[in-house]
Amino acid sequence: MTTPPPSRRRTLLLWSTSLLGAALLLWLASQRVALWPASFHLPHPELLAAAVALHLPYSLTRSLRLRYALDPCVRAATGDPHARLPRDLLYGSGLVSSLVILLLPLRLGELSRPLLLTRAAVPGVGLAESIAAVASERAVDGLFVVGLLLVGVAQAASTSADDITHIGRGMGLVFLALLAGLATLAALPPRLLQRWSPALPARLERFVLHFAATLRGLAAPRTGLPLLAWSAVYWSLTVLQLWLVLHACGLALGPAEAAAIVGVVGLSIQLPGGPAQVGSYQVGSVLALGLFIPAADLAGPGSCFVAVSFLLGLVGAALLALPGAWLLARPKRLQSSES
């Protein structure tokens, strides 16, 4: 009997772990909700239609934020003060990677956007710059998620969520530590970094220097503040969309409760669930809804909300990945037509 190569064994172990984790989390969620309701009761379908319509601006806002980290890199490499990351690449990579992040297990899809950006060979945008930009964006997102959780729980009409609040504060410290580490690397004087970096292997040295240069550009107010502002818009759209789905399913919760649910689900999908966030999303949703509604509502309209909101994210990402792929291929089509 032949032994599979190490790469295949690692892949098999990765997917097995992911699927096992998904099965366990789905079982936990199924103790309180129907994973697939017998009937989808939507008292306000017009609000669901509004939530579906909101998915496009939500996804475009998510995609555009990386511009503020990478535009300075393009300008520095080209010497053109007006140069920017190509729009097709900016939005195409964002829309495609959103689906890849959902499909791959254990959030390995987070590497997809840096790889897509690097593959385009835009001057000044390599793997180090792309990873630095995505890492900064994720650190900011983590702080927004924790903030939504803490503020939402504090402002909610009625809830007892001491354990959730403690977890949120702990995760907040983790994201703060990540952001502090990135800020420290950005604050290091280039000469000092160049003095230390020769101790590293050549390729790692180049990676660290380019990584730090990207963070340094993002630390400037003209780039960092717009990133924070658009992140606030993005997370506001996220809360609004979830609030619309709640009411479409007959759960009359307020904006504070919706913000807290976004925060809890945002933290829960960091768990090692299955592909498409199966398991981790359901557990987070059940845990969050349980803070605000009785068990009877959780088993009824709560089950409908968990299923509908999950499908909205998954189907929306899949549909928008198609124009995303078209945008990524557009420069090649233009080059072919010109030649």
pLDDT of residue 46: 96
C-alpha 125/C-alpha 112 separation (Å) is: 15
pLDDT of residue 322: 96
The answer to whether the CB of 197 falls within 8 A of the CB of 128 is: no
pLDDT of residue 9: 81
pLDDT tier at 1 (50, 70, 90 boundaries)?
very low
pLDDT of residue 291: 84
pLDDT tier at 3 (50, 70, 90 boundaries)?
low
> pTM (2 decimals)?
0.85
pLDDT of residue 96: 96
Residue 114 lies in a domain: yes
pLDDT of residue 320: 97
pLDDT of residue 174: 66
The H helix count followed by the E strand count for the chain is: 15, 0
Q: Which amino acid, one-letter code, is at 247?
A: H
Residue 16 lies in a domain: no
Of 37, 31, 28, which is closest to residue 301 (Cα–Cα)? 37
pLDDT tier at 262 (50, 70, 90 boundaries)?
very high
Residue 27 lies in a domain: no
Q: What is the pLDDT of residues 6-28, one digit of tens each?
A: 678 887 887 888 888 888 888 88
Name which of 26-40, 75-89, 122-136 the model is least confident about. 26-40
Give the total residue count for the chain.
339
Residue 291 lies in a domain: yes
The arithmetic mean of pLDDT across residues 139-152, rounded, is 85
pLDDT of residue 49: 97
Backbone angles phi, psi at 55, to 5 degrees: -65, -30
The answer to whether the CB of 64 falls within 8 A of the CB of 230 is: yes
C-alpha 230/C-alpha 90 separation (Å) is: 15
304 Cβ contact list (under 8 Å, min separation 6): 37, 40, 41, 42, 249, 250
Residue 310 lies in a domain: yes
Domains in the chain: how many in total? 1
Q: What is the pLDDT of residues 151-189, one digit of tens each?
A: 888 777 655 556 566 655 665 666 677 777 777 776 777
Residue 33 lies in a domain: no
The arithmetic mean of pLDDT across residues 36-51, rounded, is 91
pLDDT of residue 31: 87
Name which of 110-119, 201-210, 297-306 the model is least confident about. 201-210
Radius of gyration for the chain, computed over Cα atoms and rounded to the nearest angstrom = 22
Does position 55 have pLDDT exceeding 60, yes or no?
yes
Residue 3 lies in a domain: no
Tokens of 116: 């897509």
CB contact burial 202-230 (16+ within 10 A = b; e otherwise): eeebebbbbbbbbbbbbeeeebbeebeeb
Name which of 180-184, 219-223, 279-283, 288-292 the model is least confident about. 180-184
C-alpha 154/C-alpha 260 separation (Å) is: 9
Q: Quote the domain boundaries for residue 326.
A: 46-338
Of 153, 147, 174, which is closest to residue 254 (Cα–Cα)? 153
The SS3 call for residue 42 is coil
CB contact burial 261-278 (16+ within 10 A = b; e otherwise): bbbbbbbbbbbbbbbbbb
Residue 134 lies in a domain: yes
**If you search the block for the tokens 């990133």, which residue do you land on?**
227
